[in-house]
Amino acid sequence: MARTDSVYFDTISQVVAPTWSHGRVVLLGDAAWCVTLFAGYGSALAVGGADRLGTELERHDGDIGAALAAWERALRPEVEAKQRLGRRVKGVYAPANPLLLWLTQLPLRLAALPPVRRYMTRRFIKG
């Protein structure tokens, strides 16, 4: 620690729960299915999940157990697909070794070189 410029450390986790409700208690959004920042879709799934829950509660008119089961059946395939996406692309955003990290940063490093920057400016900015 005494020799480093930064002490920043973070972890990213993904919740994979077998069920999102128990009795009348329901987990929504990241509390239920955290797809991680690698996959995105967290806000959309949270809003969509809440909306679908309201729809199922209305549709099942007081049968909360049936409503929750229908809600989870409807939502789980999409959530699991997004969770798989997050696990599949994590190496792009959090490379496992220094060489991969360097390679992912290479395009930005190249773009900062004056000849490349001038070319990109001419190519993409009309003036």
Rounded Cα–Cα distance for residues 118 and 126 (Å): 13
Closest CA to 85 of 43, 47, 35, 29: 35
Report in angstroms the alpha-carbon separations of 36 from 8, 39, 48, 79, 85.
19, 6, 17, 11, 10
Is the domain of 40 the same as that of 19? yes
- Here the CATH number for the domain that contains residue 53 is 3.50.50.60
Local mean pLDDT, 10-residue blocks, the chain (127 residues): 73 84 91 82 91 96 95 95 87 79 86 90 79
Enclosing domain of residue 120: 97-127
| The model's pTM | 0.68
Per the CB < 8 A criterion, the answer to whether 60 and 72 are in contact is: no
Shared domain check, 82 and 106: no
